Structure 1
């Protein structure tokens, strides 16, 4: 009996020992000063607390043995320590955090074509990380930009839902899209190429507002968006992100990396999006959202070589099949005049790379091919475009000068079945050669003053010589909490209407050219002020204000007003202006709350023969926000994102058109909840377009003559103008160009992420 009792005592005592815990006490400081509201957690355990006014913390019931303690505070670096927890009280040595400013130390390349910290860049560059876009998951880069201040995804067609990106009110062709610094998405692909970039491979996006033609040449007139992809070295071993919506959309991103030997690494990503659920909630017998089936494959290779040389090569292939139109449309009606539909088959490949020849020489290259087979009702649009680009740069630091020089060459082949390539009674494909050179000198006058001078010369084989200078100045305070930038420069753009303006393709209006279109030129000046505040209890506030003014000469503006059956293109006999102010406010609190607010006021207009006219599809004001709060113990994050847009002028078909000339003030708002289970799994879900905002709520109809898309019942007079009658009281013709936002209303979504680091 006594042996049994002894065994039970030993067993019970062992259980007590196994169930014992200890407590941890300590102090968190920076430079010897206590830090209040610092977060202290035991990794992999559901234990955490925050420090008091003296920087002290207490963690109770900590399991015995070695534990990893993580300490963090907004505005300071994260610190991780390992401690041995024993029964009773355990005192941890003081934990020192180092103050940092991530936004200042972020490395950017878009403003100067060299890797520099955001603080040191004379050109203001806005940076958006992959985490920022995860607060509002979308199936494409195009949709993701809806929460970036001053940047608006513009839907250009009520039927096929293609779009482009507006920066500060300027149309999509004025925005250059780069991937890893290479001009990949341009020309024909501006309309369709923003879809299919696997977001799992995106490291960050850099946005430069205002002309950047000095470094990047044509099309960088309104600004540029540089999509920086992850490197095989830093990317996770495998990641998957998939979500679906209650409308029936399914989006999947897969990415993984592998190595071949010690010096060769590769990154592979796949994006797949599918939507095959035709809906007509505005009851016009047309699909509210274009049906799509899209796949994109991305592959990137990094090769390390001797003497510090490095080669990075990437490629992407995309195929997309999309259609929109009358609800009873199917492929048997493609190209006919019985049932209206817009069907687009797109095939595209890209390759681009960067070869670091030495510490001073660098060679960048890209090539892309784009094939498009489209029909808009009974109007076919068949087009093919090839673009080849190479650029050799040389850089050197000499005393206070940081020099960058480059030679560039760009060849563009374009062919289609429109008047754009028709001359002398036959089809003639376009061949454009664009050699150029540029020089940039960044002069550090002192530790607080920097001036950058740049100039570029290009020779366009069609339009001749093009010269683009610019100047930038930067001043920063001694503690680097205040930065002021002033810049000015010239931009240019050679337009191709059929590759840039979807309205020219639909066949709903006749396209008329009054003259041979000349290159557009612009002069821009902008002033930027950044002020950072480190407040009490770990609160961080960043204010970023910009005033901008851009003046255009030879601007090409489509004329929808003169004749409702035509789109008339000509160079503006006058000038156009885009001016305004914008403000971003970024705040982070120790409690886990993060707030990003942005607003822009702008006036975009053109003046001809003394008459000022507001530009079509340009809003007066815009606002964006992203608010996130993390419940650290529960590992739950709540995100609330949205935008607000002011009225914009829309194309009407005549004085009798009953639709409002201006869009209303409208807002798209979204909410999302994310639950993290560990370092590998996340589940997220929420609601998009909480207010159920759609254009159909503010107009009697969106698509003019949706009941007669081929104008078979329209009566025209001798001048080709429609005649009002009983069946057509407003004297309209079929036209889907009255559009300013997606017809997609409120919807729920649910997704999952899996990551192996």
Structure 2
């Protein structure tokens, strides 16, 4: 009955709609005398719209009305809202001018070449995630937000303490270099926790470069680079806030404020996250989500100088207390063998500075310092560590004529690392020996615009390591753009990494496994080739952007953890053979004439290693590297500033760490974590939003082996444990949180 009534009402509505007389709005969108193709033209408060053709023209069929409000937007241009009257004659045209945005968030990038350049002009492909994108699926940390980039996977490595790292194209976290404003702030010991405490309110954009970047950034930039660009205080809102809570009683507050004193403009950002209500929905006796109490404070200053020279200084402090384990655990059981828990206290200080020298040439000086202290217990295994990293860099940015953009620089990186593990024990094993690692380097790069269609970039870096000697890292990239709708990029580069095992492999600390190192570990090397093609397709009712990349990376001296030989041990050595990461990634961006936008990506990859032991080559598929994966964002704008966002990330089967004779499958199932959000914007800068996370309520099965015996006290009982299973929380491929709701509020106050 209800269905019949709705059908009749829908039919009547359509008859009324089509019964009204329509008229045609005609116009052309221009910018500095040049037609703008692919611009979206919407009639406000209606469902009508169009996309401009290659000559900038649009036609919109609308209902009879005298005055309309048009909203025109295009990538790289300011959005224009214009009130128009219906044309006096059928041949009348409206010409609408757009202004180019000098620093559009989606177009200006620095990570690929260490200088500001249009994203489309960069010979190195760079993917960008902006606050507008990750606000479509609000998260309490950038660790989760970065998963909205196709081919980038935030991987949880432990089901107890929920530590994780970032995988790019299937390679483990240590192969990903994480920068803040171009400085190597987050690395080694802090990689696991570094992205958790960055306030979203101070982030302008995140840039992702897939493939080695060691020719500019040195060690650790083997598999890819994630550069967190913080806001310029001069352009930030006066006050910004973002507060939300979930039905799991997670609370996240993110706020920032701008202030000015004389020639100094500052931005203060604070992020607080709290979750203190243990939940065990899968009934294994362990917390499904790690309890956390985290605060991060960020303060950045920009100084106005003569001739617009740059000068900035930023400070950040992070303090976090997290624990996971058996439901009855509290801090009184820390380090005991009665009730299992993994407890981590983290304190972190960061300093970042940039100064342009007061000389005629453009010479930039950059520096950073960070100190990371960790006090942690994994069951009865203590891990006490401290890391300090001092980094200084200076480079000369020179334009030679009209075709050569030259970069010459030098850097010095000093790392101090100390912990209570064998990693910092003297050769005789009798005393502690903290690691002191100086790493000086020089680099040079030339970007040559051969003609209006072709650009060639060549770069080289030389580093010296006291243990491994001379390290050379060349790269070359080529871009060909026959027109504004087609761009082809090809690149080849190398990367290297000096390994600090215990700071990067969390499996070495959790699950009560014994760590065995069979030899002195040599630095890893990688060689990468990328082929990228970007195609823009303006259509009558839509604008389609396609971005496809083929990648191939070859790794030597790869550090491999052997989990299979002995279930009670992790055995590390240099790979006797090589490793490969190869595949294809496709991103699609579709803007329709009506207010619907779709972003979707899919990645196919084949990641494996070939190990040669006793002249018997063996192929091993990389753990936690799904052959197929993808993401999607579907956004629809409703009248009165309402919007619906449907977002998600899906993974195909991936190989997981299983024990001998394990009853759990070696490969995970296909799954999708989808989210739905409804938001409403108000004219005073306020925005309300709410929705559902993990809409399909997907949960992994059997995430912890033998949760009832976390200290392995009864593993040798042949009756209750005939297969010799041991406690192991590393079988992870998806979050343990099921479906949950969230509700939040954002506010931005500008001048």
TM-score (norm 1): 0.89
Distance in 2 (alpha carbons) for counterparts of 1:26 and 1:535: 18
The counterpart of 2:519, out of the listed 515, 519, 533, is: 515
Which residue pairs with 1:414 in the alignment?
417
Distance in 2 (alpha carbons) for counterparts of 1:525 and 1:733: 41
Distance in 1 (alpha carbons) for counterparts of 2:511 and 2:193: 19
Asked if structure 1 preserves the Cα contact closer than 8 Å seen for 2:40 and 2:74, the reply is no
Which residue pairs with 1:269 in the alignment?
269
TM-score (norm 2): 0.90
Unpaired segments ≥5 residues, structure 2 = 1-22, 52-57
Instruction: Give the deviation of 1:29 after TM superposition.
Output: 2.2
CA distances 1:246-304 after superposition (whole Å, capped 9, x unpaired): 1110001001101001x210000000000011011111100000000000000000001
Asked if structure 2 preserves the Cα contact closer than 8 Å seen for 1:25 and 1:59, the reply is no
Which residue pairs with 1:744 in the alignment?
737
SS in 2 for 1:740: coil
Which residue pairs with 2:373 in the alignment?
371
In the TM superposition, what are the counterparts of 1:449-598 in structure 2 within 5 Å? 449-477=454-482, 479-506=483-510, 508-537=512-541, 539-598=542-601
- Structure 1 residue 611 corresponds to structure 2 residue 610: no
SS in 2 for 1:427: coil
Distance in 1 (alpha carbons) for counterparts of 2:326 and 2:339: 7
Asked if structure 1 preserves the Cα contact closer than 8 Å seen for 2:40 and 2:72, the reply is no
CA distances 1:190-239 after superposition (whole Å, capped 9, x unpaired): 01111011101111111100000000001111101111111111111001
Distance in 2 (alpha carbons) for counterparts of 1:79 and 1:160: 48
Distance in 1 (alpha carbons) for counterparts of 2:42 and 2:390: 52
SS in 1 for 2:560: coil
SS in 1 for 2:188: coil
Distance in 2 (alpha carbons) for counterparts of 1:728 and 1:330: 29
- Structure 1 residue 339 corresponds to structure 2 residue 344: no
Pick closer, same or farther for the CA change 1:418–1:736 going to 2, 3 Å: same
In the TM superposition, what are the counterparts of 1:396-415 in structure 2 within 5 Å? 396-399=398-401, 400-415=403-418
Higher mean alpha-carbon deviation, 705-714 vs 276-285, is at 705-714
CA distances 1:679-733 after superposition (whole Å, capped 9, x unpaired): 411110111001111112xxxx321221111111222xxxxxxxx6221133111
CA distances 1:524-568 after superposition (whole Å, capped 9, x unpaired): 00100000111113x211100000000011000111011100001
Distance in 1 (alpha carbons) for counterparts of 2:706 and 2:243: 39
Distance in 1 (alpha carbons) for counterparts of 2:729 and 2:533: 42
Higher mean alpha-carbon deviation, 117-126 vs 306-315, is at 306-315
Which protein has the larger Cα radius of gyration, Structure 1 or Structure 2? 1
Which residue pairs with 1:664 in the alignment?
669
Instruction: Give the deviation of 1:30 after TM superposition.
Output: 2.7
Which residue pairs with 2:433 in the alignment?
428
- Runs of 4 or more, structure 1, over 6 Å off, are 32-37, 46-49, 56-59, 99-105
The counterpart of 1:442, out of the listed 427, 444, 447, is: 447
Distance in 1 (alpha carbons) for counterparts of 2:108 and 2:63: 37
In the TM superposition, what are the counterparts of 1:96-495 in structure 2 within 5 Å? 96-98=96-98, 106-261=107-262, 263-357=263-357, 358=359, 359-399=361-401, 400-423=403-426, 424=428, 425-477=430-482, 479-495=483-499
Unpaired segments ≥5 residues, structure 1 = 1-23, 63-67, 716-723
SS in 2 for 1:749: strand
Pick closer, same or farther for the CA change 1:508–1:37 going to 2, 3 Å: closer
CA distances 1:100-157 after superposition (whole Å, capped 9, x unpaired): 7998971110000010101111100011111000110000011112221000010000
Asked if structure 2 preserves the Cα contact closer than 8 Å seen for 1:658 and 1:730, the reply is no
SS in 2 for 1:296: strand
Asked if structure 1 preserves the Cα contact closer than 8 Å seen for 2:49 and 2:593, the reply is no
Distance in 2 (alpha carbons) for counterparts of 1:341 and 1:329: 6
Which residue pairs with 2:712 in the alignment?
711
Distance in 1 (alpha carbons) for counterparts of 2:40 and 2:565: 64
Asked if structure 2 preserves the Cα contact closer than 8 Å seen for 1:407 and 1:438, the reply is yes
- Structure 1 residue 731 corresponds to structure 2 residue 737: no
Pick closer, same or farther for the CA change 1:658–1:179 going to 2, 3 Å: same
CA distances 1:442-489 after superposition (whole Å, capped 9, x unpaired): 111111111111100001122221110011111001x32100000001
The counterpart of 1:647, out of the listed 653, 659, 666, is: 653
Distance in 1 (alpha carbons) for counterparts of 2:415 and 2:656: 33
Pick closer, same or farther for the CA change 1:379–1:448 going to 2, 3 Å: same
SS in 2 for 1:194: coil
Asked if structure 2 preserves the Cα contact closer than 8 Å seen for 1:164 and 1:191, the reply is yes
Asked if structure 2 preserves the Cα contact closer than 8 Å seen for 1:509 and 1:565, the reply is yes
- Structure 1 residue 30 corresponds to structure 2 residue 33: no
Pick closer, same or farther for the CA change 1:57–1:690 going to 2, 3 Å: closer
Distance in 1 (alpha carbons) for counterparts of 2:703 and 2:59: 62
Asked if structure 2 preserves the Cα contact closer than 8 Å seen for 1:484 and 1:527, the reply is yes
Instruction: Report how many aligned residue pairs link the two structures.
Output: 704
Measured on the aligned residues, the alpha-carbon RMSD in Å equals 2.6
- Structure 1 residue 688 corresponds to structure 2 residue 689: no
